Structure 1
Amino acid sequence: MKKIFLALLVFAASITTAAAQVEIGLKVSPSLNNLRAESPSDKAFKNDGSQFGFGGGLVVDYFFGENYAFSTGLLLAGKGGTISYRDISAPSSSTMTTATQKFNMQYLQVPLTVKLFTNEIAPDTRLYFQVGGSLNVPIGTRINSSKFYTDPATNGETKASDHVLFFDADALAAFGVEFQLAKSTKVFGGISYNRGLVNIDRYFEKSRDFNDITIKNSTVALDLGIKF
């Protein structure tokens, strides 16, 4: 009986220790987003403007050392921007014009990163540096503020969501400062950069037979949050 009781105490202690290693919180992230567009010179795809976005959600830091944590979560992230390119002006026309598309996309995002903390630089204050990546799934897409897009070069109408790949992945880098308010309450603020690694175009090469078109996301965000 004593051995069983001792085992239960050790088990309970291990659970308590594990729980103390996990910090859960919420954050909001206003952002500036753009699309990196590339193509052969005849189509002249390029970034033609940035746009503001907003995101946020759940953050989870699992500490495997005093100053080291695996950081993940479940976030809603706004992305997009405006691209321009050269195309015919109408289905039966040979006149070339500059066309534009403004993308506004919402993604569910799962960061997979390592967060490194300094020792205290002031009472209850530490800097952090975060590196890794994120996996992203689009849950909403609009082109020129509409869920449908009519291409002036073909007069064909498509769903805006059909223009975007069903998956995206980012490289992520961030830094910021974390301040301990109470025993289990911390607030943090920082800047993060998400650089898209995947060509998200599903329209120009598939439906328009354009060659070597690349469109990728980029986001710079201000991260503000609280952990409990």
Structure 2
Amino acid sequence: MDGAQQNKSPPHLRSAAAWIRMPGKHSASFTPCVPSQSRRKFRPSLMKTLLIMRHAKSSWDQAGQTDHERPLNPRGQRAAPRMGTLLRDEQLVPDQIISSTACRARETVEALVSTSGFCGTLQWEDALYLAAPDVYRTFLQQLGSEPQRVMVVGHNPGLEDLILELTGRHETMPTAALAQLTLPIDNWEELDFLQNADLAGHWQPRNLSPESST
């Protein structure tokens, strides 16, 4: 990608393929990973899908490391790609991922991308580190009508609180857990805490069949 093309897009967006090629970089332009003529065109519908995922299990082994810098531990490194395979098998690969910039969240997203076939937009937001539900809502409301299926990757207790605000249900979100919500909206700017979303799916790595890891 040449420099002129790179500067056309907001600095916090990057295609999945470009981001994987440049580990450690958190900003660049959006580039489709398939030819534009074959890329799926988004059309508004009367329902949006929100995928909510907590980062995979992280390590506490390195003394002096800040919480933001903690990487995944071996258990998390196994769980995250399994959840990416689940997304692929359940045909839930998102059009866009909005993630915390914490190391454990970034590594979780990288694993998801590598196994799910994701080729949409990655959006990294410092504000999602240990964020409250209203912070997630703010970013989602800025998406407009285009993306049909969006994933947020972040931390507890904010994610459990977000599910509660949207569905009226308390769902436990251990590390690497994934919740699928269907929202009765046709534009993300309509998203609000009305507790009218439907919890359509809830998965944890420990409950997946062995086939889900292949």
TM-score of the pair, normalised by structure 2: 0.26
| Structure with more strand by fraction | 1
Q: Computing the radius of gyration over CA atoms, which structure comes out larger, 1 or 2?
A: 1
RCO comparison, higher one (Cα < 8 Å, 6+) = 2
TM-score of the pair, normalised by structure 1: 0.25
